[in-house]
Structure 1
Amino acid sequence: MTAAATTLTSDVATGRDLVHAELDVVRAHLAGRDPGPADERLVGLRSRAGGPTPLDEIEACFDLSGFERRTLLLACGPELVGEVGRELVEHTGRPSVCFGTALAKLPGAHWDAVTHDAPLRHWGLLRPAEPDSVLASPLVPDERILHHLVGIDVLDEQLELLSRHVDAPVELAPTHETIVAEVVRRWATSGPVVLRGPQARTTRAIAAAACAAAGLAPRLLGAADLPAGAADLVVLLRRLARETVLGRVAWVLDLDDAPASFAAAAGRALRSGEAPIVLTVSSRPGGAPVEGLGLPVLQVPRLGAGERRAVLAAALERAGAGAPESELAAVAGAFDLSVPDVDVVAGEVAAGHGLWQACRRRPRADVGSLAQVREPEAGWDRLVLPGPQLAQLRALVASVRHRSTVLDGWGFGASARGRGAAALFAGDSGTGKTFAAEVVAHDLELDLVHVDLSQVVDKYLGETEKRLARLFDAAEDGGMVLLFDEADALFGKRSEVKDSHDRYANVEVGYLLQRLESFAGLAILTTNARSALDQAFTRRLSAIVSFPYPDRAARERMWSQALPASLPRGDVDLARLAEADLSGGAIAAAALQAAYLAADDGGSLTTEHLAQAVRWELGKSGRVAGRGAAPVRRPG
């Protein structure tokens, strides 16, 4: 056993001796004996202990009178010392104390100690077993109080089921430290406070840091787990406050799962409660309404690239890892990790993983079923486009890669409308718009989030905005590229309001306009109906890239790329194939179909297999093949 453990054990034993010695004084009063000898022994033990006992702490923190202190101790007596129950039977006829006995036997008795708002009952230190007979009912001490009196540090059982411990971050950025200090200040002056921010994990981490800064252990509660009734909630909040005193605990209350009625029911109880509570809520659409709570709300902003770089560098240093300054700057410009994720990334780098890839992995799960997250693999060499369009795409990549340098280092951030980039890829179906988005994301070494519009658009009011906010926030956290294919389904023109459906649709478009402008990442919209887009969107675009229908030379290059080097084939006439008027997407589909024909026809691709596949692709749009597109001849 270590010296610290030995000291702790000694302190607990001394505390128990003091509780038993004080109980002996109360037992003397119960039996009608002279309490002097027991008092002398208690004074001697106190002089050697040199500090307050657990009972002293309870008396001071819950403002007990001397009579209430003695009543509480006598009520706990049968649990602490077996003989006390026998003595109670001998002197009162029952094995437990009641208020009537305490008033009759203990010194300093006062009637108002019996009332429900006096400390003993108000704080649940003890309760009448039969509430309808307060004076005669046996008094039942709370189990948490018994444990505290004998020096056992165990959380209140009910609160342990409702909450869980959360770790406070080791270090925060100055912006977040300022919020922590403000929370602690408001606890001391006005009570609970609300933190609202775009990153739930960051907001909770700041709340936990505020608890730690006040010298309290943070525990997380979910609003959905709290009682719905105002009276029951008041009782629970008192229990929280009591545990703060006994266990040095403060409370983080997550409102993101709160029912719609929570604010109305909980506002008054929270304002009048005495527990140190910090409430956290998302700033995205659909976040729990907090205005009805009547509590101060502090905004938790996203950090700038400079603070993100400093926080990440400090975390790497704590983990015994490091990274070049250029890589740190690039990562800070691309990724806005939550506070807990920064430490996870630092640990992964210390374990030998690359910094960029470690950051890239963290937020992938946050998009859920709303989109498909892909690691794109296509490079520039596979993209067949005219020079002007390629130059636009490379400039788009440069605007993302060098955003921090231009906006922060060179001072353009002060006049720029936003930190992000939004591009429209317009052109006929199959001209390579989605493929180009993959190339851009691959070059930036970022994930491509292909938005599933069927999962995003919802008929219920506000649901579409909630889901879009979740996507935008996840992409902003993880530097992911958002891809909205067939964007006119979401970004269409606003219409004249004739009914509620039109009004809600216009609200969605308005939200998208605002969110697209404030988005700090890269969003790519594709459409084959550019005229269907609301003009307000086009004014907010960083680039509009028009994808032309491929000419014959481009089609020949596409055919060459569509046929893998490992494909067994004879002498295929690519120039002849390029005569067919197909888009890039149709060429890829025809090449795949021809490969299946070849596999079924002996294993070697021929021009005839390709010609048949071309005829089928043309037939999809009601066209027929030109010269040379002979039907495939099958053996037998």
Structure 2
Amino acid sequence: MFNDGFAPSQIANIESQDANQRHLMDAVAWVGECLRLHAARQGPNATPFPPSPGGSALGRMTELFALSPFERSVLLLCAGMELAGEFPALCALAQQDPARAYPTFSLALAALPDAHWSALTPDAPLRYWRLIEVGGGASLVSSPLRIDERILHFLAGVQHLDEHLAGYVAAERSADELLPSQAALADAIVRGLMQWAASGAELPVVHLGGEDESARRAVAAAVCERLGLALFVMPAAALPTAPHELDALVRLWQREAALSGAALLLDCDELDGMDPARWGAVARFAERAGGLFFFSAQERRRLKRRVQVSYEVKKPDAAEQQALWEQGLGRAAPLLNGHLQRITTQFNLDAATIRSVCAHIAPALADVHTPQDVRGLGVALWKSCREQARPRLDDLAQRVRVLADWDDLILPPAQLAALREIALQVRQRATVYGRWGFAERSNRGLGVSALFVGASGVGKTMAAEVLANALDLDLYKIDLSQVVSKYIGETEKNLRRVFDAAEEGGAILLFDEADALFGKRSEVKDSHDRYANIEVSYLLQRMEAHRGLAILTTNMKHALDPAFLRRIRFVVHFPFPDAEQRTAIWRRIFPPQTPTQQLEPEKLAQLNVAGGAIRNIALAAAFLAAEEESPVTMRHLLQAARSEYAKIEKTLTAEEVRGWV
């Protein structure tokens, strides 16, 4: 009967489709006969309704939406208009009006058996589930009826997403191979859902939390695959807030879930900071959607009318990350073992990012032969990890272009030693926390926090650049105006996003003028004081739990919360440079390419200013000299110094410029 090229499952599917089509057309023909008998005034059709074969689309729809025999006949009456060419003429004949070549409720009530008026109400299945559409007309019973397109295709045995949902939901692809911990979590969720189903209770909303957004989807897809369901994803930001629009969307999804055997994942990761009306729409949709429903958000949201169970989807741990790297790098993995240990300690990447990095450097893997090739590949691997993790932080903070190195820092030996120790602790995290087991004792305080204290221009930001350069890490400066919010709870959410993104990308965070954010907790006099203290408390906890390097700068150490200071591992005081240090700064301030003439660093060091002001004076003098097409001289520096002093509202004394010109 079939070609040898068809597999047995394909043959069974074709035979099932043929049987479904035959049954549908037999049912449509039965309704057509009802119309003929009514037109001939010969009474109701005495022929019994064609028996439904097992698994027919019409039988399934009748069961899914609890259709009465009359409602099923009305649906077939509308389907006949699309499937049988004779139906328009039959409708016109039965209604004795050539202009009414379409089905109506009036025709159905008169021509079809087992008619009941309740089938016409808005709460009855035909209209509630929008199986049919009622056109505009003088009255309900005389208005044209039309079958919904999604319903017509389902009856014909063709599955596709409802076009009205196309702008809201998208099918989720099959999950990648899950990590062992994620597979175990998917199995646990399935077991829990099976227990709920066995009890006869409504399935709970499954809240998937945790840091790994892509893994949440993968776990949900794996759960649905184990249960034989399709998974669709809807961004919560697309939900309408108007009640009638939300109600229409809920019904459309409920209908689609029933027809497709599908579950829905509502993605709420982009909702931080959105208005309460949007969160209200999310809660209403989750409570009313029914069926298997996943709520993907880092934080759990309270639902009033539906039970919710929460599961945390964690990022791969160090061992799983190591396994992913070994799988992706193949034969090159053993050669890069030392690099991989450092990477898994510094970066907190998810499985998708690790696979992306491996794919990015895959062309270079075949050319690894010598130790030099291994070092080059390790550098490329590190660089790719940094680049893959940048997009999240680029949206939250300002990436600082790092240029300074150790030779650019002019500081006393004690401060330089403290900075080198900071770099040492970040570099050796893999050894101390990993191989030496300190991470197993506690998961707090595994990062490095440093407070740089000193007046403006003494080199605090430059020191942060030097550390980033030495450690080959990105440096991000946090804009407090974008972090601090007047809305309750928003500051904590913003900071959480910053810290999470920094941990993933291994980046260094620089909180400039930290006293504005990490100030002392005040006496509670009103609700604003209470929530301000909550913000500081959250920061204290988050700083202690942060696994990376966070640097804070301030020129007002006394303004910081004492409890916060106790959690800082390094406090480095940047002193105002003395004459010897200022001389060293002046000797290095001009690039080698800059033409200079008879500059005297010892005399320039008489200016009682910090390194930042020295740079401003040198740069202004260079512009003055360039305009005159001459080398930079003491005269240019004197003119620039006067301008800088006027800017900072300080008097340039004769003692400071004695012997300059």
CA–CA distance in structure 1, aligned partners of residues 625 and 355 of structure 2: 53
Tell me the distance in 2 between the aligned counterparts of 1:416 and 1:113.
Answer: 62
Output one character per residue of 1:320-356: Cα deviation in whole Å (capped at 9) or x when no partner: 9998233333222222235544443333233559332
Name the residue aligned to 1:85. Answer: 88
Aligned to 2:310: 298
SS of the equivalent of 2:449 reads strand
CA–CA distance in structure 1, aligned partners of residues 158 and 511 of structure 2 = 58
Distance 1:318 1:170 in 2: 18
Q: Say which SS state the counterpart of residue 218 (structure 1) adopts.
A: strand
Q: Distance in 2 between matches of 1:333 and 1:131?
A: 70
Residues 113 and 119 in structure 1, CA contact (< 8 A), matched pair in contact too: yes
SS of the equivalent of 2:86 reads: helix
The SS at the match of 2:551 is: strand
Query: Comparing 398-407 with 526-535, which one deviates more in the overlay?
Result: 398-407
Which residue, out of 568, 581, 587, partners 1:560? 587
CA drift at 1:101: 5.2
Distance 1:264 1:451 in 2: 31
Matched, 1:516 2:543: yes
Give the match for residue 250 of structure 1.
263
Aligned position for 2:428? 402
Counterpart of 1:275 in structure 2 is 291
When residues 301 and 20 of structure 1 are mapped into structure 2, their CA distance, relative to the original with a 3 A threshold, is closer
- In 2: Cα distance, 1:223 partner to 1:319 partner: 43
Q: Give me the whole-angstrom Cα distance separating, in 1, the residues matched to 2:552 and 2:224.
A: 44
Give the distance between the partners of 1:530 and 1:445, measured in 2 at CA: 29
Instruction: Indicate the residue corresponding to 2:24 in structure 1.
Output: 19
Q: CA deviation at 1:109?
A: 6.5
Alignment of 1:583-622 (within 5 A): 583-614=610-641, 617=644, 620=648, 621-622=650-651
- Closer/same/farther in 2, CA of residues 399 and 627 from structure 1, 3 Å limit: closer
Q: CA RMSD in A?
A: 3.9
**1:211, 1:250 within 8 Å by CA — same for their partners in 2?**
yes
Shift in CA distance, 212/351, structure 1 to aligned 2, threshold 3 Å: farther
**Deviation readout 1:404-437 (Å, 9 max, x if unpaired):** 4322332212236332221101122222111010
- Against the structure 1 CA distance between its residues 221 and 9, is the aligned structure 2 distance closer, same or farther, given a 3 Å change threshold? same
Correspondence 1:448-597 to 2 at 5 A: 448-597=475-624
> What does the per-residue CA deviation read over 1:358-377, in whole Å, with 9 as the maximum and x for residues that have no partner?
22123434346653112423
Instruction: Name the aligned partner's letter for residue 168 of structure 2.
Output: L
| Most deviating of 147-156 and 1-10 | 1-10
**Who is 1:154 aligned against?**
160
Supply the AA of the counterpart residue of 1:381. D
C-alpha contact 2:265 2:295 (8 A) present in aligned 1: yes
- Report the AA paired with residue 465 of structure 1: E
- Using the TM superposition, name which of 580-589 and 262-271 deviates more: 262-271
Secondary structure, in 3 states, of the residue corresponding to 1:362?
helix
- Kindly report which structure 2 residues correspond to 1:158-557, keeping only aligned pairs within 5 A, or say none: 158-188=164-194, 189=196, 190-228=203-241, 233-255=246-268, 256-257=270-271, 259-261=275-277, 267=283, 270-271=286-287, 273-283=289-299, 289-292=301-304, 294-300=306-312, 302-303=314-315, 305-307=317-319, 309-310=321-322, 312-313=324-325, 316=328, 324-338=336-350, 340-350=352-362, 354-367=380-393, 371-413=397-439, 414-415=441-442, 417-557=444-584
Task: Tell me the distance in 2 between the aligned counterparts of 1:520 and 1:377.
Answer: 25
> 8 Å contact 2:325–2:333 — kept in the other structure?
no
State which drifts further: 486-495 or 431-440. 486-495
Contact 2:179 2:316 in 1 (8 A): no
C-alpha spacing 1:53/1:432, structure 2 compared with 1 (3 Å) = same
Q: What residue is the counterpart of 2:199 in the other structure?
A: none
Native 8 Å contact 2:603 2:659 kept in 1: no
Q: How many residues align?
A: 620
Distance 2:276 2:329 in 1: 44
Take 1:120 and 1:318, find their aligned partners in 2: how far apart are those partners?
A: 58
Q: Distance in 2 between matches of 1:186 and 1:134?
A: 47
Counterpart of 1:604, as a letter, is: P
| Aligned residue in 2 for 1:74 | 77
Is the Cα–Cα contact under 8 Å of residues 217 and 248 in structure 1 kept in the other structure? Answer: yes
What are the residue-to-residue correspondences of 1:44-63 with 2, within 5 Å? 52-63=55-66
Structure 1 counterpart of 2:629, one-letter code: G
SS of equivalent to 1:324: helix
Deviations 1:26-62 (A, max 9, x none): 43454359998996xx99xx7xxxx744334434544
For residues 120-159 of structure 1, give each alpha carbon's deviation from its aligned partner in whole angstroms, at most 9, with x where no partner exists. 4443323555799777665432110112233443311111
Q: After alignment, is 202-211 or 553-562 more displaced?
A: 202-211
Q: Judging changes above 3 Å, is the alpha-carbon distance between structure 1 residues 294 and 624 closer, same or farther for their aligned structure 2 residues?
A: farther
Q: Give the Cα–Cα distance (whole angstroms) in 2 for the partners of residues 184 and 22 of structure 1.
A: 39
Whether contact under 8 Å (1:186, 1:193) holds in the other structure is no
Q: Distance in 1 between matches of 2:282 and 2:485?
A: 30
Could you tell me how far apart the structure 2 residues matched to 1:210 and 1:317 are? 29
Q: Distance in 2 between matches of 1:242 and 1:109?
A: 24
CA 1:491 to 1:296, structure 2 compared with 1: closer, same or farther past 3 Å?
same
Distance 1:342 1:101 in 2: 64
Residue 593 of structure 1 and its aligned partner are, at CA, apart by 2.2
What is the CA-CA distance between 1:237 and the residue it aligns to?
Answer: 2.7
| CA separation of 1:225 and 1:582: change in aligned 2, threshold 3 A | closer
Partner of 1:31: 36
Q: Does the 8 Å CA contact 1:577/1:611 hold for their aligned counterparts?
A: no
